Amino acid sequence: MSNCESCPTKDKCSSKENCMIENNPLNQVKKVIGVMSGKGGVGKSTVSVLLANQLRKQGYRVGILDADITGPSIPRLMHVENQRAEASEMGIFPVNTKNGMKVISLNLLMEDENQPVIWRGPLLAGVVKQFWTDVIWGDLDYLLIDMPPGTADIALTVMQSIPINGVVMVSVPQDLVSMIVAKAVNMARKMDIDVIGVVENMSYIQCPDCKTKIQMYDDDNTEEFLKDMNLDLIGELPMCKEIIDISKNGMETISDNLSSTLDDITKKVISKI
């Protein structure tokens, strides 16, 4: 039962007959944005949270679904790690952040966030599906999904069972990483999901005195990579302490400079989705 009326991808749907997506009639989510990377540790969760916060600042109703089941960092980055999601007969209620965003993560359903999830693929896939079908998101303008790293089982489940309007790829300027990100781009395209563009994270460091931008990677082939893959660069983020500190201070200590970069990135994402 796909319930096409409440499906965020209903305007571009070409597969009603063999659709595997179940939509919850209690939810009206306008757009779903996946944040993906292919390679672990490049800043996918960080970028998900930065984008979500910036969209919220612009006045949108925002949710964030942590599909990185085995390494869930969203609750800490959103400062809701001490709250617990509640379940009722109607479904699971996400937790709310101070600034009114909704969050779901497996860690918000576990008694102890330090316990590992030692489950096999099918069980993990079931949880990710439930985060779409059984969570009461209500009315949202944007739902961001922190995608599982890699291009294997769970990433595939997310792409098949959640109606994603587009994905933002997170990369760092290093040859090895772009090769792996290319795999994620090709995966999304094979699944008929739009790739909105690339956010290059840890793109440079900035000298605090003279403000010179210093590139850290010698083998930065970003331009070539974007051209070869027919991708747009939607923004570059520096490697900096204020980004590291969001798990400690939230977005409160984000400088005007970084805030304006994030503003440009979110505006580009919105315009392309």
Ligand X SMILES: Nc1ncnc2c1ncn2[C@@H]1O[C@H](COP(=O)(O)OP(=O)(O)OP(=O)(O)O)[C@@H](O)[C@H]1O
Q: What residue numbers does the annotated binding site for ATP cover?
A: 38-45
Identity of the residue, 39 or 268, whose beta carbon is nearer to ligand X in the bound complex? 39
Identity of the residue, 62 or 237, whose beta carbon is nearer to ligand X in the bound complex? 237
Minimum distance of ligand X from residue 16's CB (angstroms): 33
Identity of the residue, 162 or 199, whose beta carbon is nearer to ligand X in the bound complex? 199
Minimum distance of ligand X from residue 236's CB (angstroms): 10
Identity of the residue, 141 or 245, whose beta carbon is nearer to ligand X in the bound complex? 245
Query: What is the residue-wise DSSP string for the chain?
Result: ---GGG-TTGGG---STT------TT-EEEEEEEEE-SSTTSSHHHHHHHHHHHHHHTT--EEEEE--TTS--HHHHTT-TT---EEETTEEEPEE-TTS-EEE-GGGTSS-TTS-----HHHHHHHHHHHHHTB---EEEEEEEEPPSSSSHHHHHHHHHS--SEEEEEE-S-HHHHHHHHHHHHHHHHTT--EEEEEETT--EE-TTT--EE---TT--HHHHHHHHT--EEEE----HHHHTHHHHTTTT--HHHHHHHHHHHHHHHHH-
Identity of the residue, 149 or 166, whose beta carbon is nearer to ligand X in the bound complex? 149
Minimum distance of ligand X from residue 100's CB (angstroms): 22
Placement of tokens 């790739």 in the chain: 195
User: What letter does residue 252 receive in the DSSP assignment?
Assistant: T
Minimum distance of ligand X from residue 37's CB (angstroms): 5
Residue facing ligand X at closest CB distance: 40
Minimum distance of ligand X from residue 52's CB (angstroms): 13
Minimum distance of ligand X from residue 27's CB (angstroms): 25
Identity of the residue, 117 or 239, whose beta carbon is nearer to ligand X in the bound complex? 239
The contact set with ligand X (CB under 6 A) reads 37, 40-46, 68, 71, 73, 149, 201-202, 237, 239-240, 243-244
